[in-house]
Copies of this chain bind each other. A is one copy, B any other.
Amino acid sequence: MAIKNAFYAQSGGVTAVINASAAGLLEAAQAHPDKIGKVYAGRNGIIGALTEDLIDTSAESPEAIRALRYTPSGAFGSCRYKLKSLEDNRREYERLIEVFKAHDIGYFFYNGGGDSADTCLKVSQLANTLGYPIQAIHVPKTIDNDLPITDCCPGFGSVAKYVAVSMLEASFDVASMAKTSTKVFILEVMGRHAGWIAAAGGLASSKERPVPVVILFPEIAFDQEKFIAKVEQHVQGYGYCTVVVSEGVKNADGKFLSDQGLRDAFGHAQLGGVAPVVAGIIRDKLGLKYHWGVADYLQRAARHIASRTDVEQAYIMGKAAVEFAMAGHNSVMPTIERTANSPYVWQVGMAELADVANVEKMMPADFISEDGFGITNKCREYLEPLIEGEDYPPYQNGLPAYIRLKNVAVPKKLAEFKI
């Protein structure tokens, strides 16, 4: 088989470990000089392929590639851009082929979530649809943990660890202050559709070190009366209470709890998160002193407290993608298969992209406790191994020594293309 170049790109919201997948993929590709020539990264995801904005990863030193393993964010830039169907946008597919041909690209690696898997699936069909031979492999990544088939998604474990650690620390803080000051702390976390991230807040509590955490899941319609009763019960029992609330929590009528139609003194619409709304309820109904935080990007960028399990899995997923390509596969995604809980054992599996694209995996109902405010033991057994282990980046002058790549552009060969 002739040597072909490879294309790699990052897609969707970035994570603390997507660059670890890039490191795994790039290092694995170097082990196959007989089949893979250069690996070109797309600048800003698939957009880089469309605009012929390619990055020559061979210009980076081995040390720089290794440093990707401990650098959060998307080193080549990511994008939120979903390819339409071939029928709706033939022009873009033909452009992709033009770019792939011009740069002799025979392998397409796409690192993202559900939408990106769909893009990767469409590219994998180019041989059939437009006669261009390519092997397209998807590398799983999403903090939302909502890809099907794979037991978990790289990126999620580190967010889960961040949320669990933060809730534990904030709970210790509130417990100290509760006698004369703050009694309730509320943390808003990501996860608009599924409560995986909010569920991780439940790990702050354990048998040995109980913490009164109330979880508000997007799967459970918000019941103000029940919520207030639960918080009050905890404050009476423990002296304080902490709440982790998913940004996606809705009222019984299906409206986001964060959507309170806020107006400033001049009547202008204002932004609000859901944490201050929950804080307002605590104030109005219980009259307790509260504090609230919104983790936002900090939770998914927090490489400094990444889960070692997550980093390893992300790295191995990148490596497995190359191995799948070398074995001749197309239109597949490496997955994480859990074979045992305690001690945790997992292995690499393989899923067909057709089974992955556009399918969302929700939290199983039996992961949420009966009252709707906590996690079950089954959920705990699932989550615990995913936050296991630390994997600290090196530091310099008190800060993580995250790498910024050179990102040298590959000379363009084609006419400009407008997206």
Contacts and interface: CB of A to CB of B under 8 A. Distances in A.
A260 interface: yes
Contacts of A47: 179-180
Copies in the complex: 2
A168 B294 CA distance: 17
Q: Count chain B CB atoms within 10 A of each CB in A77, A177, A295 and give the residue with the most.
A: A177
Contact of A169 (B72, B270, B291, B294): B72
Contacts of A109: none
B173 A301 contact: yes
Nearest to A172: B73
B176 A74 contact: yes
A61 interface: no
Contacts of A175: 73, 77
Interface in A1-47: 10, 13-14, 16, 44-45, 47
Given A291-B297, A301-B169, A398 B388 contact: yes
A263 interface: yes
Contact of A187 (B273, B283, B298): B298
Contacts of A384: 397-398
Contact of A388 (B71, B170, B397): B397
Contact of A272 (B177, B276, B400, B402): B276
Contact of A261 (B45, B264, B305): B264
B293 A296 contact: yes
Contacts of A301: 166, 169-170, 172-173
Contacts of A138: none
Nearest to A273: B276
Contacts of A177: 13-14, 74, 78, 80
A3 B264 CA distance: 62
A183 interface: no
A390 interface: yes
A294 B275 contact: yes
A399 interface: yes
B298 A295 contact: yes
Nearest to A182: B297
Interface string A388-409: 1110100101111010100000
Nearest to A403: B209
B304 A14 contact: no
B400 A180 contact: no
Contacts of A166: 298, 301-302
A85 interface: no
A35 to B, nearest CB: 29
Contact of A399 (B79, B204, B280): B204
Interface string A298-311: 10111111010000
Contacts of A69: none
Contacts of A345: none
Nearest to A79: B180
Given A177-B13, A293-B294, A265 B271 contact: no
A297 B400 contact: no
A165 interface: yes
Given A176-B14, A392-B392, A279 B271 contact: yes
B397 A297 contact: no
A148 B170 CA distance: 28
A373 interface: no
Contacts of A71: 172
Nearest to A161: B398
A260 B277 CA distance: 15
Contacts of A275: 294
Contacts of A44: 179-180
9 contacts: A47-B179, A164-B399, A165-B304, A170-B298, A209-B404, A260-B264, A262-B262, A270-B276, A295-B298
Chain A to chain B: the 10 pairs with minimum beta-carbon distance, closest first: A261-B265, A293-B296, A387-B398, A74-B176, A73-B172, A169-B301, A44-B179, A173-B301, A260-B264, A271-B276
